[in-house]
Every structure is written in C-alpha cells, then in structure tokens.
Structure 1
Amino acid sequence: MREGDDLPVVRSLAELTDLVDGNRRLYVRWSRGPETDLCKVSSTDDLTGVPMPGLSANPLDVERWWEGHPLKLWVARRLYDYAHLPHEKGPGIRPWVLQGHETGRGPDNEPLVAEVHPMCWIDPAVIDEARAEVDKQHNDWGPLDRTGRSRPS
C-alpha cells in the first residue's frame, strides 16, 4: 500500500475523466488522506458516533442511465456536488481517488468502501474546472449544501 503523500496528483478534469474511463469501482473521498484513513479502516457516523463498515466515499462510476452523455460532465458533477466539504470539515480536507469494494451505505446513503486502494490526489484546480463545467449548464443543479445557503444565480 502506498503512503498518501506518495500518490500521484491528477491536475486536470480531462486527466481524471481518463482515469474514470479506464477503471471501475472508483470513488472520491474527501478527507486528510489515505495515510490517516487507512489507519482507522472505517468512517464514523458524525451524528451518533457509530462506526461504519468502510470509508464513506462518493462513486465515480457512470450509471447506466448516463450512457451516451459526456463523461467529463459526469465527473465534474460528482466533484461539484461535494466541493463544499473542505469548508465544512476544516483544514487539511482534500479529495483523493480510491478503488475499493462497497460494503454498505452510510446515513446519507453514501457508499461505504473497504479493501481500499489509493489511486491519486485531486488537485484543487480540478475542482475549479468541475465548477466551471457545471456553471456552463443551463439547469441549476446546486451543490449538496446542508448549510441552507442557496447557490448564487
């Protein structure tokens, strides 16, 4: 297993899209990184403190209903929807890609992933590209923002 700081860094949305196109069972995790996460092996429900059977993460695999639509837009949306987490969870929270197996679902219906293989960090510039890609769309998606603030028009 590679240490977190030794992971390659994906520096563009195109590069991340290529990674998703060539692999399956990929997830994005927003945390302090694999070195920290793999020591504990599972996430904990923030509300109750109950340990869960895996790390909470967001899937990058394309759903069948999306087939025929731009993969780049799919990947952008998967990043965009959770880009608020570094601000909510505090300093040191960064996105990274892992490969693994789903073991269940967390309280927000997010996949819980075990047998984690760290793949790469995601550079902050990729998140900016994802926001720009989403902003080009004519429909208002809005991020999964639990603070109650609405997205600026």
Structure 2
Amino acid sequence: MAGEKSSSPADIEPPDAAEMPTIYSLDELAELVQGRDTIYLRYSHGPERDRGSGPSRDFEADVALPGWSVTTVAPEEWWPRPTREWVARRLCKYADLGAQNDSRFPWLLTGRVVGRGPDHEPLVTDFVPIAKIAESVVEEGLRVYRRSFAIGRDSTGDPPED
C-alpha cells in the first residue's frame, strides 16, 4: 500500500523485556522471521536474567564466551520447503532446553554477532528482545517436525536406531 514501509529487524521497536509480546502460532513465527536472518532464537530464563548473569559459558571447557549463544531461525535462501518446516526444525533442535523444568523458554532477539561458540552457534552481544514464544508453538513445532522429517536419519540412509 502507498505510504506503508516494509519492516526490518532494525525497525522493530525493542520492548521492555517484561512486556515482550508473545507469539502463539508457528505460522506467526514463520511469518515474522521469513527473510530476516538477523533474528535469532534463544532458550534461557529471559533477557533480564541473561543480562544479569552475563554471556554464555562453555561449561565443558570452563571458558566464558564473548556473547550469548543463539541459533538462527530464518531459513537459508536455498531452502525449497515451507518456512514453517525450517522454523519448526530449528525450534525443536533446542526444545530440550525448555523442557528442563527450570523456567527456560524460547524467545527471539536481534544482536551483534561477535563470534561462534563451540557448537558453531552464533554468539551475540547488544541483544534486543523481540518476542517470547508460547509453549503451544513449541508443541505445534514438534508435531510439524515429526510429520515432515525423517528424524535421526543420517547420511548412511539407515533408519535411526530406537
């Protein structure tokens, strides 16, 4: 429409972390991240606690990292399948972090990438929270992930072991 400007991650008004909007559907999440490779996903106790406790840590090596561990959530340009399938897969790869009964939850943010962590994940600083992701979206993502992918199949082509 005339006069309407398209939004980019930089145009997103950073909410007070306590007032972050919540995403309630996988489609809403997929629409938000489509084409925005600077929006990241993080599972943690939330932005305030992250800021208070400092950046991520490599516990295995006992090394402080230079930023907070995040994962990309927007599909790569080469991805030929629906965005919601990519997003469901990314959401589910770390869902176990939210299932630890310690109040961690998934949320979206932007930030400045300052390196890569020991698992090749982006490390960000200067992060700005965008939105929380409701548990129902994680559950919806798990259903899509299980239905759309051969979970556990590797390059050998063998089915996963039970």
TM-score (structure 1 length as normaliser): 0.83
- What pairs with 1:80-91 in structure 2 (closer than 5 Å)? 80-88=92-100, 90-91=101-102
- What pairs with 1:14-33 in structure 2 (closer than 5 Å)? 14-21=27-34, 23-33=36-46
CA distance in 2, matches of 1:24, 1:114: 16
Match of 1:92, SS state, is coil
Give the AA of the match of 1:125: S
Stretches of 4+ moved more than 3 A in 1?
none
- When Rg is computed on C-alpha atoms for both structures, the one with the higher figure is 2
Give the AA of the match of 2:151: W
- What pairs with 1:1-153 in structure 2 (closer than 5 Å)? 2-21=15-34, 23-66=36-79, 68-88=80-100, 90-137=101-148, 139-142=149-152
Please, which runs of 5 or more residues in structure 2 have no aligned partner? 1-13, 153-159
Deviations along 1:3-39, one digit per CA (max 9) or x if unpaired, are 4221000011011111102633011110000011123
Give the AA of the match of 1:45: D
Deviations along 1:50-96, one digit per CA (max 9) or x if unpaired, are 11111001111321321x321111111100111111234x4111111
Question: How far 1:124 moved relative to its partner?
Answer: 0.2
Aligned identity (percent) is 37
Q: Which has the higher contact order (CA 8 A, sep 6+)?
A: 1
The CA RMSD over aligned residues, in Å, is 2.0
